[in-house]
Structure 1
Amino acid sequence: MGQMIPDLNPRATMEFKTNGVPKMPKPQYDPKFTDKVIAATGPHAHPRLAQIMPSLIRHLHDFAREVNLTVAEWSAAVDLINECGQMSNEQRNETQLLCDIVGLESLVDEITSKMLATSTAETPSAILGPFYRSDAPFLPNGSSIVQNLDPSIEWYDQAIADSAFLTGQVLAAGTGAPIQGAVVDVWHTAPNGLYEQQDSSQPEMNFRGRFTTDEDGRYSLYALRPVPYPIPEDGPAGRFLKMLDRHPHRPGHIHFIVSAPGYRPLTTQLYDDRDKYINNDAVFAVKDELVVTFQPREGDSNAKWSLEYDFILGRE
């Protein structure tokens, strides 16, 4: 695709004062143009679109005028979005990744969560991320989402060192009552920082599983302490990140979707407090309430660490 932001001759886009200091030109744009575009929406438009499109159009047009957006720059942005869509599939959502690195998904997640919340006690949400798979296997409580761990695997030693037992309850906001039959959908990367669909050496659905809470609202499973990893840099979103001179790393985290009939599903992430990227997340998703501390685990040959975390769901 070439460069997303074309190299422009500054003398072609700037005027110069007599002292040589550049200034942006001040072209006289049609002051009625934006109103014409907004007025074009018909009386039978979708109600929500009729509500939000005037604001979107006005912000877009104001942005274009503010930065003196050129045809070449607009075309490069269109190419970027097109390439993201062309690269997206069931295993990777590049357009969503682009939204992540500019903070848009984290922002709309926070807006939606606060709009729908029925209690301040609810567990905070966090972004879904581009590597979710909806068909993870259901596993019995107390089982492991780590498949085929073999000493020949490159990251075997780290997996053993980071082996962890996770447990907790799913509770109702307000009453604190345990929710039986809640589904806890969990996934994270391997110690090499790759989700299983990114890594052909991993078994299908490795580090993924769904668990159903018991009569006490409790879930339990074996997993690993999460590791930091870079978001994919081999596509347009990665190239864009480099052009912004930003690092691509996410702090180590474990994804969860917790759902139960009558309650609002919770999509969130738990972050390991040992991670150096906790305060510098490439996608701006970390919240203080979701930063956790793993504790050493004694007397369990399957885990070196343990974490207990309760999820609190609000009513629909």
Structure 2
Amino acid sequence: MKRMDQAVIDAAIREITAPEKEGKGNERVKEIVNRLVKDLFNAMADLDITSEEMWKACDFLTQIGQNNEWGLVYAGLGIERFIDVKMDWEDEQDGIELKTPRTIEGPLYVAGAPESKSYAELETVPEPNSERLYMSGVVRDEEGNPIGGAKVEIWHCNLKGLYSIFDSSQPEYNLRRTIITGEDGKYEFKSFVPVGYSCPPGGSTDTLMALLGRHGSRPAHIHFFVTAPNYRKLTTQINIEGDPLTYDDFAFATRPELVPHIVRKSIEEAKVAGKDEAHAAIAFDFNMVHDNAELVPGENKRSRRASSAK
């Protein structure tokens, strides 16, 4: 089929973005929407996208919203990853090298997790049949100096792949804690080795990934926000070494520097380290950069889920 004449496409674009609309509405929103509409119209012509396909797409987009899966679709299509790629490029232009890479936040953070000094136990209720995990390290600046008073927020899923607050069967803030570092910059938490999980079976994201010939699963991982006065917020996560999907994450979040080595310690070895149980141990330092007005902000002020108690 012959492609539409570009003049016809351009005329339709001009009609949608008519000059007489200038001075009304939000200029930034108009700039973005008009560009996306222009690109969409040209794609419809290039790919001969039919009316039926467009209306099926409209129904599918509606379904994504009804299923509350836009956060998963953002991850699965690599949109959230590309946001990081863009920010990394901007840092490079400013001569900034991140020793601890940023990576995606995902849609499952909730503010207000219980705070403690230097150490926390993440489980509100014990997770049966789990492997004990101790993770520790130091929050440091660009030169490696410890940062006292840093806030390390941690969250991960249970062995069913579910997150508290989004999963009403768990106690509120289960596997969600906030650690404030002392002057030595040290943090440590006790939990268990988490598992990976998949998007809801048969849901919007799972359906889309199947149509793209991909899976909708994530490797085992633990999320972090690290903040401190006068430093840029760090959004990152670690992957659990040895997970079969560590380098096949549907959300494109794996960075080699964020796959720390796990050491399995027997009860005898644990006692030497001052622990009373066999466990897996991860040592990992977070490096932050000093903030200034010229840097891309670390906090994007996106909307986030509120606790049911709020």
Q: Bin the TM-score by the shorter chain.
A: 0.7 to 0.9
Q: Paired residue for 1:6?
A: none
Once the two structures are TM-superposed, the CA of residue 36 in structure 1 deviates from its matched residue by 4.1
Q: Partner of 1:99: helix, strand, or coil?
A: helix
Does the 8 A contact of 2:180 with 2:187 survive in 1?
Answer: yes
Q: 1:172 maps to what in 2? A: 141
In structure 2, the residue matched to 1:237 is: 205
Aligned positions of 1:36-75 closer than 5 A: 36-40=15-19, 42-43=22-23, 46=26, 48-49=28-29, 52-75=32-55
Q: Does residue 289 of structure 2 align to residue 314 of structure 1?
A: yes
Residues 64 and 202 of structure 1, relative CA distance in 2, 3 Å threshold: same
- 1:116 offset after TM fit, Å? 4.9
Structure-2 separation of matches of 1:37 and 1:66: 19
CA contact (8 A) 1:38 1:57 kept: no
Equivalent position of 1:115 in the other structure: 90
Are the aligned partners of 1:165 and 1:303 in contact in 2 as well (CA < 8 Å)? no
Aligned to 2:74, the other structure's residue is in SS state helix
Per the alignment, residue 77 of structure 1 pairs with 57
Question: 2 CA distance for matches of 1:195 and 1:236?
Answer: 19
State the distance in 1 between where 2:264 and 2:58 align.
50
Identity %: 30
Letter in 1 for 2:191: A
Structure 1 position 105 matched with structure 2 position 85: no
For 2:158 and 2:182, how far apart are their aligned partners in 1? 28
In 2: Cα distance, 1:132 partner to 1:303 partner:
30
Amino acid aligned to 1:163: R
User: Does the CA contact (< 8 Å) of 1:110 and 1:125 recur in 2?
Assistant: no
CA contact (8 A) 2:3 2:46 kept: no
Structure 2 residue runs of 5 or longer lacking an equivalent are 292-310
Distance 1:116 1:137, change over 3 A: farther
With the length of structure 2 as denominator, give the TM-score of the two structures: 0.81
Q: Deviations over 1:233-265 (max 9, x none)?
A: 353222222332321211111000111111111
Q: CA deviation at 1:221?
A: 0.8
Tell me the secondary structure at the aligned position of residue 37 of structure 2. helix
TM-score, scaled relative to structure 1: 0.80
2: CA distance between counterparts of 1:27 and 1:143?
A: 62
- CA separation of 1:57/1:303 partners in 2, compared to 1, >3 Å: closer, same or farther? farther
Counterpart position of 2:300: none
Flag structure 1 segments of 5+ consecutive residues without an equivalent: 1-23, 89-93, 150-154
Q: What letter is aligned with 1:120?
A: E
Secondary structure at 2:44 match in 1? helix
Cα displacement (A) at 1:51: 5.1
For the pair 1:224 / 2:203, whether they are aligned, the reply is no
Equivalent pair of 2:205/2:216 in contact (CA under 8 Å): no
Paired residue type of 2:133: A
**Aligned partners of 1:114, 1:223: CA distance in 2, in Å?**
35
Q: Which amino acid aligns with 2:81?
A: S
Shift of 1:53: 4.6
Q: Shift of residue 229 of structure 1?
A: 1.2
1:244-293 per-position Cα deviation (integer Å, ceiling 9, x unaligned): 23212111110001111111111111011201112211111111111111
Partner of 2:120: 143
Aligned equivalents of 2:225 and 2:163: distance in 1? 17
Alignment-derived partner of residue 305 in structure 1: 280
Partner Cα distance (1:302, 1:82) in 2: 50
1:87 aligns with 2:71: no
Match of residue 13 from structure 1: none
User: Does the CA-based 8 Å contact 2:122-2:190 persist in structure 1?
Assistant: yes
- SS, match of residue 282 in structure 2: strand
SS in 1 for 2:66: helix
2-side partners of 1:239 and 1:50: how far apart?
32
Measured at CA, do residues 146 and 83 of structure 1 come closer, stay the same or move farther in structure 2, by a change above 3 Å? same
Residue number in structure 2 paired with 1:3: none
- Please tell me whether the aligned partners of residues 164 and 303 of structure 1 are also in contact (alpha carbons under 8 angstroms): no
Match of 1:292 among 232, 257, 260: 260
What amino acid sits opposite 1:66 in the alignment?
D
| 2-structure distance, mates of 1:126, 1:59 | 28
Task: Report the residue type matching 2:119 in the other structure.
Answer: G
Provide the C-alpha distance between the structure 2 equivalents of 1:169 and 1:212, rounded to a whole number of angstroms. Answer: 11
Aligned-partner Cα distance in 2 for 1:70–1:113: 38
- Matched AA of 1:235: G
Question: Which residue number corresponds to residue 177 of structure 2?
Answer: 209
SS at match of 1:156: coil
1:107 Cα deviation (Å)?
Answer: 0.7
1:33 counterpart (5, 9, 12): 12
